[in-house]
Chains A and B, each alone.
Chain A
Amino acid sequence: MSGAVPFGEWLASGLIVLGASFALIGSWGLVRLPSLMERMHGPTKASTLGLGAMLAGSIAFFQLVKGEWTTHEVLVSLFLFVTAPVSANMIAKAHLHRLRQGGQPGPAGAPAAPSESSDWATYEAPHAGTPGAFADE
């Protein structure tokens, strides 16, 4: 029954379905979850696992069905793996900044403050002895 379908096509199809499911679930999390800090979980998983699986499926398709290697997918996924945490961190920083300026926290409340001797890195001056501390000198 499935003997006529080559293995590469099975692999590519499974990876495409997996990646698209992750993208859908990530966007569903963006709609469903109550506050911004929780909402950031879904799309970051969609961008790493979802797009990673879809790009791996694309590599598998072009190699095992068409018989040629493509490297663009590796570039795209490497770039996304590097930038997804940075953009999530930037959005979280903007959110903390707006909360401090009197923005309304979501139903889950504001994020808990760090320990009493420190503050969020967004607001604190760099500690002495760390690479960013040259501004104090």
Chain B
Amino acid sequence: MRRVVAVALLLVFAVGSAALSAERSALRFTIWSGNQAHLDLLNGIAAAYRSTHPNVEVRFDVVPFGDYIQKITIQIASGTAPDLGWLLETSAPTFINAGVLVDASSTLRPDKAYAFGDFSAPALQLWVRKNAIYGVPFSTSPFIVFFNRDHFKAAKLAPPDQLAARGAWTWEALRRSAYAVARTAGTGVYGFESVDGQGYDVRVWHTLIPVIRAYGGDAWVGDECGLASPEAVKAVGFYHDMIFKDRSVVPPGEQGDFFSGRSAMTIAQLSRVSKLEGAKFAWGIAPLPAGPAGQVGVIGQAAIVVFAKSPNRRAALDFLKFMTNAENTAKMSKFFPPARDSVLQSQDFLTANPLVSPQQMKIVADGIRSGKVLPSHPNYPRIEAGARPVFDRLWRADASVPAVLRDVCNVIQPLLKQ
């Protein structure tokens, strides 16, 4: 009898342990930022979740930005998909069409405390198809101008934030400032640097679209290429002149890092503020300059998605909901401007980042309200790869801007129609 009881107890213990371990989940979350300040923020949120969900462990897996899409695609194909991950706006249509993202609507919409309606509708455009929610934007980050105040002071120029305050911050003003700094600051210092210094390569669209939109054009609208339009030609011609006539922009093949003080201005997003901690120069931020079409904001966006092949789908969806609730959105707004209206309008957002003043944060908030997300397309990888070699011809002093832009359209037009 004693033996029977012992065996029964052992069975109960074994079944109980199995049930417990079945509920235990280790979520793998892929991100592309290895910045320690970003990691501390994310790990803090994961730790808060674990305090109420002791069986769920979240591990952030950093994949370099340049390899990100390739690596997660291989992981999905090889059956080792992450549970959750960041995804850039340019990849959204491709991934949604491929059916590799989970529709989170049944988790997010019914929860009144979560308040899905708090997300601004324009910010959700890329991620919502009818009622399905394939991603929740965690960063709706407008492109803004970062400037080196010391270089402006040395060149006796009014800085961009002052020009913006009196409505005189235009692309022409940016050009004049860049030219003046390049002439006064000495060898190896430029007036302007493209986005992340990669404006001739992987960030060519990010660099050209702000100026093209300010002139009233766009890269493409729907399935029509817009680069050959007179507005786009004028805008790119203007930027081309800055590079090769004024010689005020870090030229192709040259390294001129704004964040180490070797350039007076650059265009970037709020997350780059972390690179300015301990900067040896005074810096500031300003909105994108206005052009003939007025002041047109450009937004780069990234969302958190749950992958369809996640082995822990239920836990992943729950963590997605936790991470993007109002409280955590407010925490993340320090580096990643939010798409939740309540957070965007709060005082907490304006004071979220100690490196950025409330006045400067207001520039970011205004940029989100007035901006338009970067163009995307299900065929984006082929569009990007097809356009880049043609754009390469643009980066010569004797390039014909209208001819090159026409050729880019010839290459990408069939891809846009597919």
Is chain B a partner of chain A in the same complex? no
